[in-house]
Amino acid sequence: MLSKDEEKKISSAVIKRLPRYYRYLGELLENDIERISSKELSVRMDVTASQIRQDLNNFGGFGQQGYGYNVEYLYNEISKILGLEKTYNIIIVGAGNLGQALANYIDFEKSGFVVKGLFDVNPKIVGISVRGLEIQDIDNMEMYVKNKHIDIAVLTLPKQKAPKIANDLAEWGIKGIWNFAPTDLQLKDKSVTIENVHLSESLMTLSYRIKDRV
Amino acid sequence: MLSKDEEKKISSAVIKRLPRYYRYLGELLENDIERISSKELSVRMDVTASQIRQDLNNFGGFGQQGYGYNVEYLYNEISKILGLEKTYNIIIVGAGNLGQALANYIDFEKSGFVVKGLFDVNPKIVGISVRGLEIQDIDNMEMYVKNKHIDIAVLTLPKQKAPKIANDLAEWGIKGIWNFAPTDLQLKDKSVTIENVHLSESLMTLSYRIKDRV
DNA sequence: TGAAATTTGACAGATATTTCACAAAAGACT
DNA sequence: AGTCTTTTGTGAAATATCTGTCAAATTTCA
Ligand SMILES: NC(=O)c1ccc[n+]([C@@H]2O[C@H](COP(=O)([O-])OP(=O)(O)OC[C@H]3O[C@@H](n4cnc5c(N)ncnc54)[C@H](O)[C@@H]3O)[C@@H](O)[C@H]2O)c1
Ligand SMILES: NC(=O)c1ccc[n+]([C@@H]2O[C@H](COP(=O)([O-])OP(=O)(O)OC[C@H]3O[C@@H](n4cnc5c(N)ncnc54)[C@H](O)[C@@H]3O)[C@@H](O)[C@H]2O)c1
């Protein structure tokens, strides 16, 4: 058996596709579909059957020849692979437009991401309640993160403030940062995982692809 | 010269990197940095210099041997490539949490994306003003899109409603759809460009990458 | 039960993407 | 002006990713 460090490295292309499989399987499950072949799933998802089988085989043989994949079993396996069987405690840093929108989104909880706190510097909004959570002053954040086992911080604050806050959070033991500020965070502490969401960049690729320009 | 259809196809990997170059160049510009070599940019961006040169060369030789790239010139060229020298008229469909957050985000305008209208079915919020724009009833949308030269629609409504609305919008002449609903839109009309933003999937890849699971 | 149909997992071949390496052009310096 | 240094653009090599194919396992159907 391969030791932890020798385990086959899963390519990030594969990882990025897993949540999509998970979503489609969830829909199949809702529709009481018990099994599915890579062929049929490939039609629904508009990818090749070969890719589906190859992707899944990175993690083990979940299917059965002549039968296909059991939807519920595969759904649960992917859930485990993605780490969704755990619960993650989340805080949102920057309780402005985007921070509040994310805080109000209940579907994250279905996947195990539970918003435990909201923080902001603006005294005008500190104390306001968002989905049952009072926005707290940023000065409380250190104690809060250290005491409440916060796993993930969502950064929805101005890009100038993001690097400092990210570093602090890393020091206080956070595991992951979901960053919406338009900057690429780089931490000394490489044990902290960063996922950048650059919405403006997504919109720009859309504008690139709009043919016969406006 | 190659005709339109024969033009070298730019890979989507390259396209997705362009906005990032654009962002870094914008920052250099703000710092009055006049020129930059691929080598130095590669250090700042943490990619290889070779990749930068290769990417840019898909669109033309913007640099000069022994000198590097002129920041302002390159910034403007990438702006043109991305189609940002134009103004895009945008509407937001579904003026809930996320729709309002996006409507309030002024930075989109700096890149030429101007929010012209907000639409919703909920009579309780129709009429409410968001950044100077009244939320309109969805029934007004057809006339509005047809008369006001709307280029892009942002879909921030429930996933069940998204496919129908997307089809309508396509029929009414929209060019692009920026979809936040957790579903993959597929339109008959292939001339409409769709950019999906699946935030939950982004969060799931973060959870995958968090080592020493919680 | 046995033959036909289905479908996976694996691997090899085909594409795509990234990196390397270097000639040639231009700048910098004396 | 001439030499040395920098740095691009490019083609080729190295990687990475995706697709096609098929034996083997299993199901389906008569
Ligand atoms: N809203 C969008 O649609 C959108 C789109 C793309 C990117 N973003 C990015 O997301 C981030 C948030 O955007 P927004 O629209 O919600 O902005 P916003 O101004 O509505 O909210 C930002 C919040 O951060 C708070 N803040 C400022 N400094 C802070 C600090 N040091 N600690 C804690 N909180 C602090 C502010 O008080 C404010 O409440 C920004 O970086 C923005 O560029 C937003
Ligand atoms: N808020 C988030 O953080 C977040 C994260 C990931 C995905 N999303 C997705 O983005 C979409 C919007 O999320 P939200 O949090 O803003 O939800 P929301 O419920 O706050 O807003 C949705 C809005 O759409 C309106 N609506 C419903 N049917 C409509 C129709 N047929 N035409 C026009 N408007 C209609 C509703 O009245 C509501 O105002 C959803 O699909 C959601 O799954 C949101």
Whether residue A171 is predicted with pLDDT greater than 60 in this model: the reply is yes
Does the beta-carbon distance from A98 to B88 stay under 8 Å? no
The helix/strand/coil state of B135 is strand
Residue B57 has a CB neighbour count (10 Å cut-off) of: 11
| Span A79-108, pLDDT tens digits | 999 999 999 999 999 999 999 999 999 999
Q: For the whole model, what pTM was predicted?
A: 0.96
Whether residue B162 is predicted with pLDDT greater than 90 in this model: the reply is yes
Whether residue B2 is predicted with pLDDT greater than 60 in this model: the reply is no
SS3 content of chain A, % helix, strand, coil (to 5): 45, 20, 40
R_g of chain A computed on alpha carbons: 20
Whether residue B137 is predicted with pLDDT greater than 50 in this model: the reply is yes
The helix/strand/coil state of B178 is strand
Strand C proximal residues, B:130-159, Cβ < 7 Å: none
Count the helices and strands in chain B (H runs, E runs). Answer: 9, 10
Portion of chain B with pLDDT greater than 70, in percent: 95
Calculate the angstrom distance between C1' of D14 and CA of B65.
26
Dist. CA B61–CA A175, nearest whole Å: 42
Fold designation for A4-81? Arc Repressor Mutant, subunit A (1.10.10)
Q: Which of A156, A168, A185, A195 to mutate to test the pocket of ligand 1 (most atoms within 8 A of CB)?
A: A156
Shortest alpha-carbon distance between residue B66 and chain A (Å)? 29
Dist. CA A32–CA A54, nearest whole Å: 25
Dist. CA B149–CA B174, nearest whole Å: 8
Strand order in the sheet with A68-70: A35-36, A68-70, A63-64
| Span A24-65, pLDDT tens digits | 999 999 999 999 999 999 999 999 999 999 999 999 899 999
Dist. CA B4–CA B24, nearest whole Å: 30
| Span A172-211, pLDDT tens digits | 999 999 999 999 998 989 899 999 999 999 999 999 999 7
CATH class of B88-201: alpha beta
State the DSSP H helix or E strand holding residue B99, giving kind and residue range, or none if neither: helix B97-103
**Chain A residue closest in CA terms to B182:** A23
Render B22-70 in DSSP notation, one character per residue: HHHHHHHHHTT--EE-HHHHHHHHTS-HHHHHHHHHTT---EETTTEEE
Q: Where, residue-wise, is CATH 3.40.50.720 in chain A?
A: 88-201
B96 lines ligand 2 (CB under 6 A): yes
Quote the pLDDT of residue B211.
77
